[in-house]
Amino acid sequence: MGEKPFRCLVCGKCFTQKHTLLVHQRMHTGEKPFVCTICGKCFTAKSTLRRHVMSHSGKKPFTCSFCNLSFTRLDNLKTHTKSHSKERAASTEASSDAAVADTSAEDES
């Protein structure tokens, strides 16, 4: 496994890059130097601020292929898509139960 020479003095977690350690340390200090100019929400990392700013654009480029619901972020679409697989599993299970019930009713005749 890769070497992780940068250790957090607060919790002991180790990192491969110094920058990642610095961003992590903000979690302990509460420092949030990156501020959204639109709504004022603050973030510990510049990348998180960039992702957040996209939510203000109104663009939703990630669309569910099952129900056409759209999302601003791919990770939200992926989480949403899992709900469809649960729905399909429940639907398949209900169909199987119904088929078993029909077979049982025929056996009793």
Which domain, by its residues, includes 107?
Answer: 61-109
Residue 3 lies in a domain: no
Q: How far apart are the first and last CA of the chain?
A: 65
Residue 23 lies in a domain: no
pTM of the model: 0.62
The pLDDT score that the predictor gives to residue 2 is 83
Q: Give me the residues of the chain with pLDDT under 50, please.
A: 109
Spatial separation of the C-alpha atoms in residues 58 and 26, rounded to whole Å = 30
The pLDDT score that the predictor gives to residue 80 is 95
The pLDDT score that the predictor gives to residue 49 is 96
Q: In Å, what is the CA distance from 104 to each residue of 47, 50, 92, 94?
A: 59, 59, 18, 15
Residue 21 · residue 8 · CB < 8 Å: yes
The pLDDT score that the predictor gives to residue 109 is 46
Residue 39 lies in a domain: no
The pLDDT score that the predictor gives to residue 99 is 57
Domain count, the chain: 1
Residue 93 lies in a domain: yes
Residue 4 · residue 24 · CB < 8 Å: no
